Structure 1
Amino acid sequence: MLHPVSSATVRLADTVFERMANAIIDESLAPGQRLRDGELAQSMGVSRMPVREALQRLERIGLVEMSPSRFTRVTIVTPEMAQGTLEFAGYYASSTIRMACLRMSTQQRTEATSAIDAIIADVKNHASPLAARRAFHRMILDIAANPFVDTISRDTDIALARNLQYVKLPLSDPNELVDSYEALSRALTAGDTDAAERIVRSQFAL
């Protein structure tokens, strides 16, 4: 279920958290599945302490629910939660693209448009653009260089990646998605902050 974790990891609980979060995202740990810290610790080759710490962190971002002395289980994403996540993701993405666009150097604009080209290529090749979109989002966060946003994004992005799997994204038509990202590329190249923010909002139907 979960591969062993190296005890040489500097922050073992962080590695356990990441491993468990990814297992929830890809449903290796299925929605509604009961979680037992002893079994999880054994499967990853660690003590119960980092597992318990990871479970508490997963609970804080809504991937796990815990009822003392009763159960710990993977949460089930309701339609209401998925829709609320989509709305939040739109405001989150559009605000970070605005911050990044205001601070981009010429080189960073080139790098950002190259990252968008990767998204477009995936869409045109009928491949999932999820990994390329997440890489682009990570780049935008780095360029935005806001310490507070960077701190909260570590856990927020995991919750978004999990919950957005359960909602249909507004731009589901491949041609519309390509057009949107091509427009975003032009806006970033021109340094048009308002246009970039508006385009990202439209991707989330805001």
Structure 2
Amino acid sequence: MSAARTGFWRSNSLTLVFGGAFLVVLAAQAVAGRAEFNEQLAVAGLQQIGFGAYLTSSDFAVDVTENWQSEFLQFFLYVYGTVHLLQRGSPESKPLDRAGTESERDQRMGPHAAPDSPRWASAGGWRQALYSRSLGLVMAVFFLLSWFAQSVAGAAAYDGERLRQLQDPIGWGAYLVSADFWNRSLQNWQSELLAVSAMAVLSVYLRQRGSPESKPVGAPHTSTGVEG
């Protein structure tokens, strides 16, 4: 059935539902985060802040960006890792005989591009090389930008906490090698890597009927690269 016949909302429901849920959860995080932050201020005998002030605070920014960078890192590693790495029996893996970047024919690039293929798929040269790696590159850029934003916001939040405790601020450079920065980063990275590993292995033996992240219910456990 064509997208025109299914309608805009249905044909884009995956993005719209998850995008809407993201905004709802982000708003809920802001409410809960402000309440927790004001509790800390009250314990320290300091004046509490309003909702608008909290939304523009480094404390809110670092909590948001430290999660964003770990998610983009997960997808960057997953996009690049699945080019060469395989998992027998998993729909998250390519078939065992297709490891690597594959041929231009397999990827429908260059002279093998179809009339409706993206323009840069048949362009050749640097444009084709860039477009053929664009998903991973964009994920890498998003990761680096959000990690940088986390470091800046984290340094400001950390120094703000030190000032409230009548301690000298340490600055951004010193914060980059601090335990707080790496604890925030590594605790998110390990959880993302665990989730990817669990999904790759569990999808070998478990099924979710109708999901492209699962093999067909009746597919053998050894079937690799098959989606439901």
Task: Provide the TM-score with structure 1 as the length reference.
Answer: 0.26
Larger radius of gyration: 2
